[in-house]
Amino acid sequence: MPNLHDLERRINSVNSTKQITRTMEMVAAAKIRRASERVEEATPYSDSMGEMLANVAANAGSSDNALLTEHDDVKSILYIAVVSDRGLAGGFNSNVLRTVEKAVYAARSEGATAHVVACGKKAISYFEFRKIDLDLVFKDLSADPTLDEALQIATRAIEGYTAGEYDKVVLVYNHAKNAAEQELRTETVLPIDSDVLGKADEAEEESAAEEKELTGDVIYEPDAEAVLDSLLPAYVKTTIYHALVDSAAAEQAARRTAMKSATDNANEMVETLTRFYNRVRQGAITTEINEIVGGAAALEE
Sign, CA dihedral 187-188-194-199, equals: positive
End-to-end CA distance of the chain: 35
CATH code of the domain made up of 39-256: 3.40.1380.10
Instruction: List Cα–Cα distances, 67 to 169, 192, 233, 254, in angstroms.
Output: 11, 6, 8, 34
Size (the chain), residues? 301
Q: How far apart are CA 198 and CA 101, in angstroms?
A: 32
Kindly give, in sequence order, each residue whose CB lies less than 8 Å from that of residue 164, ignoring residues fewer than 6 positions away.
71
Per-residue pLDDT at 214: 47
- Residue 210 has a CB neighbour count (10 Å cut-off) of 9
Tell me the three state secondary structure of residue 76: strand
Q: What is the pLDDT of residue 74?
A: 86
What are the residue ranges of CATH 3.40.1380.10 in the chain? Answer: 39-256
Q: What are phi and psi of 122, to 5 degrees?
A: -65, -35
The residues pairing with 44 across neighbouring beta strands, listed in sequence order, are: none
What gap in Å lies between CA 181 and CA 258, rounded to an integer? 11
CA 289, chain centre distance (Å): 60
Q: Are 80 and 169 in contact (CB under 8 A)?
A: yes
Assigned CATH for 4-27+258-300: 1.10.287.80
State the span(s) of the chain assigned CATH 1.10.287.80. Answer: 4-27+258-300
- In tens digits, the chain (301 residues) has pLDDT values of 667 888 888 888 988 888 898 998 888 888 888 888 888 888 888 888 778 777 777 766 666 778 888 888 889 999 999 999 988 888 889 999 999 999 999 999 988 899 999 999 999 999 999 988 899 999 988 888 989 999 999 999 999 999 889 999 999 999 988 777 888 999 999 888 766 665 544 544 554 555 445 445 677 777 777 888 888 888 899 999 999 999 999 999 898 888 998 999 999 999 998 888 888 888 777 877 877 777 777 777 6
